[in-house]
Amino acid sequence: MAVGAAILIIGGLWEVVSQWSVAYSVLTDLQSKGPAGMFVASILLSPTLRLILIAIGLAIVLKDYLENRHAAKSLLAVTPSTASIVPLYVEPKESPRDERIFLPEEITIKSLVDLTQGLTEVQAQGLIGPYIGKWKTVSGPIGNVTQDEFSKRVALDIRIDDLLVMLWFDGRWLDRLTILPPRHMIRANGKISNISRHGLWLSQCELL
């Protein structure tokens, strides 16, 4: 585009300069130098030459403008076929880090809760930390089933050795859990999310 603009400017300036009386006097002097000078002067004074320069400049500028505009549209354009293969949500896959590590049966709910006895929550964190994120299989009678209206998760609580175990299920378990009556015995797997003096909290639970 710079080349076309330069040619366009030269052609325009030449059109202006050619009208100056000084330019005409120089060209007249050139004509007096003989046939060769007259030939050169006739070309320089020709309106056709100036119009050709202007036309070439305009053509180059227009060509560069159209090419740049097309390139910009190509970068911004998203075809329907491309958009259709871009998923709005990708189901997360379990990595080796997410491998389920289950606590052995001899590590009971009571033994986990006992780690927090006589300590503040901050003090207990160092003792319960190794168990957070591990998986535990529990069983016991249902106390209550509720659903969180915001997250749609379902909470179910059971009692084991007079200790509360709160199990959180995602919404797809709602239909199965709502038909279970109080004191119905269940068995489930869950990921330990918290341990306190009151009991155990499990997330991502699954009925067995």
Mean pLDDT of 12-26: 58
Q: Which residue has the higher pLDDT, 62 or 20?
A: 62
Query: Does 91 fall in a domain?
Result: no
Using an 8 Å Cβ cutoff, are 10 and 50 in contact?
no
| 45, 130: one domain | no
| 69, 110: one domain | no
Mean pLDDT of the chain, nearest integer: 76
pLDDT at 83: 38
pLDDT at 92: 44
* The token pair that represents 145 in the structure block: 């089933």
64-80 pLDDT, tens digit each: 777 766 655 554 444 44
| CATH code, domain carrying 182 | 2.40.50.140
| 114, 203: one domain | yes
Q: Which residue has the higher pLDDT, 84 or 117?
A: 117
| 149, 197: one domain | yes
As for how many domains the chain has, the answer is: 2
Contacts of residue 115, Cβ cutoff 8 Å, sequence gap at least 6: 124, 127, 128, 195
Query: Does 90 fall in a domain?
Result: no
| 107, 202: one domain | yes
117-159 pLDDT, tens digit each: 888 888 888 888 899 999 999 999 998 888 888 888 898 899 8
Q: Please state, as a whole number, how many other Cβ atoms lie within 10 Å of the Cβ of residue 156.
A: 23
91-121 pLDDT, tens digit each: 444 445 568 899 988 889 999 999 888 888 8
Using an 8 Å Cβ cutoff, are 40 and 31 in contact?
no
Beta strand 163-169 with 199-207 is parallel
Structural domain for 156, as ranges: 99-207
Which ranges in 18-120 belong to alpha helices (H)? 21-31, 35-45, 47-76, 80-84, 109-114
| Rg of the chain (C-alpha set) | 43
